[in-house]
Copies of this chain bind each other. A is one copy, B any other.
Amino acid sequence: MNHGATTSQSLPIVFVNGERAAFDAPAISSRDRGLTLADGLFETMRARRGGVFRLDQHLARLSKGLQVMAIPEPAELRRWVQEAVRQAGEADASIRLTLTRGPGPAGLAPPTDVRPTVVVAVNAMPAFSDETYSIGLRAIVASGRRNAQSPTAGLKTLAYTDAIVTWLEAQRAGADEAIFLDTDGHCSEATASNLFAYREDSLVTPPVTCAALPGITRAAVLELAHAAGIRTAERVFGLDVLASADEVFLTSSLRGIAPVRSLGERTIGTGTAGKVTKRLMTAYLALVDRECGAP
């Protein structure tokens, strides 16, 4: 018996403004400002056993971004996410919540009557290779830089163009990822992940003033490290710290914690997942299990 349970449906599941939409079918106006001007924000979340990891924090971050961008927040956001996850059942999944200012006329001026577009897509979790986690990623230093003085620094806007171009740069260099410096020359983050370095018994990550996103996984890792008695700091640092670190890893909702084994030609630490990294990976998976409801 399975009282009240929903048969899980095959992924992806897509909702547009609360209505189920066929995957890949035309669903968005060609004059939606999300498409024409990247006028919107998004969240990427992890679902496990029918629960969403730190949904409150994701919605709070989105809400803050909507305020900065002066986009009205639809009241149904949480309900739409929960309904999509409910239909997806208990499969591990990633959830992408996209919110745009909706359709509008040509030009920058928003329409007087704003009708936001909300897309909730539940996708299968991306399959990362075992090597990603046991050995680690090969990273390069990005040739472009993140803008610490952007008016949307710290917001998860739709403007991922620079991240894509830089991800392609990493691929062409035979690497998996690229690490951005900010416009002041300080370490910032990777193309879609936060950055951590472990060095001299201390775990450091760039502050959001270095154009780093205030990541939900980043915050969870800082908590876990603190609880494990590891010294932590949000601190401005340069490439020298990264290159001489014992361990480096990246964090994101989809990846969790992923070790970095090299930076350009330089090997990081032992060139494989370090022991602090592995300890945090285990603690993070346990945290996700715990908060999303253990079996």
Q: Which residues of A contact B (CB under 8 A)?
A: 14, 16, 21, 23-32, 34-39, 42, 44, 68-70, 94, 96, 98, 100, 103, 105-110, 119, 121, 123, 126, 142-152, 157-169, 183, 191-192, 254
What is the CA–CA distance of A29 and B163 in the complex, to the nearest angstrom? 21
> Could you tell me the distance between the alpha carbons of A83 and B16 in the complex, rounded to whole angstroms?
32
Give the one of A32, A96, A106 with max B CB within 10 A.
A106
Q: Specify which of B70, B94, B157, B165 is in contact with A151 (CB 8 Å cutoff).
A: B165
Establish whether residues A98 and B36, one from each chain, have CB atoms under 8 Å apart when the complex forms. yes
Question: Is the beta-carbon distance between A161 and B157 smaller than 8 angstroms?
Answer: yes
**A32 and B29 form a contact (CB under 8 A):** no
Give the distance to chain B from A96, nearest Cβ to Cβ, in Å. Answer: 6
Q: Is the CB of A106 within 8 A of B94?
A: yes
A210 CB to nearest B CB, Å:
13
Q: Are A37 and B142 in contact (CB under 8 A)?
A: no
C-alpha spacing A27/B26, complex, angstroms: 5
Return the contact of A31 from the options B24, B126, B161 (Cβ within 8 A).
Answer: B24
Whole-angstrom CA separation of A109 from B171 in the bound complex: 10
**Across-interface contacts of A14 in B (CB, < 8 A):** 30-31
Task: Give Cα A29 to B119, complex, Å.
Answer: 11
- Which B residues are in CB contact (< 8 Å) with A107? 126, 192, 254
A15 to B208, CA, bound (A): 41
User: Across the interface, which residues of B come within 8 angstroms of A103, CB to CB?
Assistant: 24
- Tell whether, in the assembled complex, residue A161 and residue B164 are in contact, meaning their CB atoms are under 8 Å apart: no
Contact of A183 among B35, B108, B149 (CB under 8 A): B149
Given contacts A28-B29, A39-B164, A108-B164, 14 further A-B contacts (CB under 8 A): A14-B31, A24-B29, A26-B29, A34-B35, A35-B35, A36-B98, A38-B160, A68-B165, A69-B164, A69-B165, A108-B191, A110-B164, A146-B147, A159-B160
14 contacts between A and B (CB under 8 A): A27-B29, A30-B98, A34-B35, A35-B119, A37-B158, A39-B161, A70-B168, A106-B254, A143-B151, A144-B151, A144-B152, A145-B147, A152-B161, A158-B159
